[in-house]
């Protein structure tokens, strides 16, 4: 059983919401709680925007596959933990789906997206870790790991 002092340092990742191609997660790491966001899909340029199309592509669609938050939160240890906990949940869900192939036929994911941290500047997004570094530290098998920052044609 955990006491209050150990609970404060327990890491967790909980999906909170999705909106306009972006997932928001509530996280606990190193005794702190905070939120991070991941742009999971490209968005089309909105009818009304104060950004030019070029700026929108750079700032919104350029973030696909990146974990974003205050830069001090996006340490390599946090990003590896973030992916590890997501992978454990994903793996458990896939295992359940495989037990019921008739129910989930066509819906079983073929790979797990490994996200890396990034920070934004006026010239665009800069990754803070490499895909392979995070994948390795998180213990995600190479045969299921997908780098979502690479466009698949």
At 11-35, the pLDDT tens digits run 999 999 999 899 999 999 999 999 9
Is 151 part of a structural domain of the chain? no
Residue 109 binned pLDDT confidence (cut-offs 50, 70, 90): confident
Is 152 part of a structural domain of the chain? no
Structural domain boundaries, residue 15: 4-146
At 24-78, the pLDDT tens digits run 999 999 999 999 999 999 999 998 889 999 999 999 999 999 999 999 999 999 9
Question: How many domains does the chain fold into?
Answer: 1
Concatenating the DSSP letter of every residue in 10-57 gives: --EEEEEEEETTEEEEEEEETTEEEEEEEE-S--PPPSS-SS-HHHHH
Round to whole Å and give the CA distance between 53 and 30. 39
Is 87 part of a structural domain of the chain? yes
Contacts of 141 (CB under 8 A, 6+ apart): none
What's the predicted TM-score (pTM) here?
Answer: 0.88
């Amino acid at each position: 059983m955990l006491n209050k002092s150990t609970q404060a340092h327990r890491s967790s990742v909980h999906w909170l919401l999705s909106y306009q191609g972006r997932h928001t997660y509530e996280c606990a790491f190193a005794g702190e709680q905070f939120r991070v966001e991941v742009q999971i899909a490209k968005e089309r340029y909105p009818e009304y925007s104060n950004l030019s199309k070029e700026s929108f592509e750079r700032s919104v669609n350029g973030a696909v596959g990146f974990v974003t938050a205050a830069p001090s939160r996006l340490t390599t240890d946090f990003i590896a933990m973030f992916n590890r906990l997501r992978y454990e949940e994903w793996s458990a869900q896939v295992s359940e789906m495989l037990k019921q192939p008739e129910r989930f036929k066509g819906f079983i994911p073929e790979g797990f997206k490994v996200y890396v941290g990034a920070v934004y500047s006026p010239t665009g997004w800069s990754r803070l870790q490499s895909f392979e570094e995070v994948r390795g530290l998180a213990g995600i098998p190479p045969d299921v790991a997908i780098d979502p920052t690479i466009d698949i044609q």
